Amino acid sequence: MFDAFMRTLTGPCSVRQGDSVLVCVSGGLDSMVLLHLMLRASCLLDLRVGVVHVDHGIRNDASKADAQFVLDACRDLAIEAHLCELSMGPSTPNLEEEARRRRYHAVMECARRRGYLHAATGHTLDDQAETILYRIIRGTGIRGLAGIAYAGPGGLIRPMLDITRAQVTAFAVKEGITHVEDTSNHDVRLSRNLIRHRVLPVMERINPRAAQAVVRFAEIAREEGALLEDMTRVLKKKALLFDWGLITAFRLADVREAPDAVTRRLIIDVVTSMIREPRGIDSVQVDAALGILKGRARAHTIGRKVRVQTDGETFVFRSALMGPYYRATFDGPGRVRVPEIGRSVHVAMPVPEGTPLTLRSYLRGDRIRGRRVSEVLARMGVMSSLRPFWPVLISGNEIVAVAARPEDADAPVRVMMTGEDHG
């Protein structure tokens, strides 16, 4: 088993001679075995090894006892240990997922502050199988089927992913490794525990190597997913009209011509980027967005954050939050950077010295010199879905200018120009 661990550690996990590794230790069987394997590896690779224990605070005295067990074990092994206390309560909404999110944040922050290059978790092959089944049940695409990666962002590594839970148990018995048992791991009201204790055992009646079969399925999905990623990149480059961060638009005809599998990946990529959720969105939301493309509905809002719609011959993803989306105050003419939309605005109009100016996004009902700004933007050819993100200039309490693109030389109101920084 140690040989398999070393192959994964130095292979897909990319740990090298002299590296530093922060080991995530809950005190449970998997994490205690991981710690002992890492210590053995440190002798061969001259690793700096430390431990982090996260106390969620959910189980009160039991949580404190687990933390003390880990600290005592680290003291006996002469290993640097760090304790992170989250003070979560059992009534925390979406407890299972929220605990996971906060735990990873605490671990990665600890690794960053303490100067560790890697942070290792004790996920096993069985954990991989359970994760894939969980995602299938919730509804996922090929990317979700690929399962847990050996290495993640920020130096996160999972060097036990090729080792089964049975192998871990046998190793612990042979080496006399002690651990604590988290009673919540047997609570089948939690989804992952239900899969571990009820679903997988039923599958193993059909195939004793069910976990390995599920993981092999994930490997195939990963390979096919890589091909879809390449096709999606080609589609993005071909169909993209503009990307303003808060709104991204593609040529409708180009996207409609693409295979549904590629279009789904495009939808997932754009939406997850806009909502900053790397774990993606569920299949129900993807199907709803695909329905917009096929004309089954006019618009759909995902997670109250992103609105998917068509606008003429354009397929649009835009922020569903309320404006204004940005506001910047400055003095006098010059170049103003608007990071929210990835653009710069050059203010060329003369203003009295010392007059403060404000640049913000357009709001419904805005007027300039008695005219509706929406009419001005329409005459400039700005499509309706883009208008809420368009810059207007305010002096005092009045709108005095509307941003114009360099090609809008004949716009009825042109006293600023946007300098497009990208796409």
Planar angle of CA 10, 16, 17, nearest 5 degrees:
125
Question: Residue 20 corresponds to which tokens in the numbers above?
Answer: 């530093």
Whether 110 and 82 have beta carbons less than 8 Å apart is answered as: yes
Based on the fold, state whether residues 278 and 164 are members of the same structural domain.
no
Residues 332 and 272 in one domain: no
Are residues 126 and 74 part of one domain? yes
Note the pLDDT of residue 408: 56
Q: What is the pLDDT of residues 41-56, one digit of tens each?
A: 999 999 999 999 998 8
**Per-residue pLDDT, 326:** 95
Looking at 319, 341, 370, the residue that finishes a domain is 319
User: Which pLDDT score, from 0 to 100, does residue 106 have?
Assistant: 93
Is 180 in the same domain as 254? no
Where is the domain boundary, 297, 319, 341? 319
Could you tell me if 315 and 391 lie in one domain? Answer: no
User: Are 21 and 50 in the same domain?
Assistant: yes
Residue 279 has pLDDT above 90, yes or no: no
Asked if residue 188 has pLDDT above 60, the reply is yes
Q: Which domain holds residue 265?
A: 244-319
Q: Are 357 and 347 in contact (CB under 8 A)?
A: yes
Regarding predicted confidence, which is higher, 406 or 299?
299
Counting the structural domains of the chain, the total is 3
pLDDT at 272 over 50: yes
Give the separation between CA 201 and CA 203, rounded to whole angstroms. 5
**pTM for this predicted structure:** 0.68
Would you state the structure tokens that stand for residue 387, as one six-digit string?
A: 């208008």
Q: What is the DSSP string of 244-291?
A: -SSEEEEEHHHHHHS-HHHHHHHHHHHHHHHHT-TT---HHHHHHHHH
Report pLDDT for 406: 60
Residues 18 and 133 in one domain: yes
Answer whether 81's CB lies under 8 Å from 50's CB: yes
> Do both 67 and 209 map to the same domain?
yes
Pair 311, 402 in one domain:
no
CB atoms within 10 A of CB 176: 7
Answer yes or no: is 221 within a domain: no
* Model confidence band, residue 354 (pLDDT cutoffs 50, 70, 90): low
Mean pLDDT of 348-368: 83
Q: Does residue 68 sit in the same domain as residue 169?
A: yes
Asked whether residue 385 carries a pLDDT value surpassing 60, the answer given is: yes
Q: How far apart are CA 196 and CA 189, in angstroms?
A: 12
Q: What is the pLDDT of residues 228-250, one digit of tens each?
A: 999 999 999 999 999 999 999 99
What per-residue confidence (pLDDT) applies to 352? Answer: 65
- Grade residue 421 by pLDDT with cuts at 50, 70 and 90: very low
pLDDT of residue 413 exceeding 60, the answer is: no
Domain boundary among 214, 233, 258: 214
What is the structure's pLDDT at 283? Answer: 80
Q: Is residue 220 part of a domain?
A: no
Which residues are CB-neighbours of 404 under 8 A, at least 6 positions away?
A: 380, 411, 413, 414, 415, 416, 417, 418
Cα–Cα separations (whole angstroms), residue 212 to 124, 207, 281: 11, 10, 26
- Asked if residue 290 lies in contact with residue 264, where contact means CB atoms within 8 angstroms, the answer is yes
Average pLDDT over residues 310-314: 96
Does 308 share its domain with 332? no
Q: What is the DSSP letter of 10?
A: H
Query: pLDDT averaged over the chain?
Result: 89
315, 333: one domain:
no
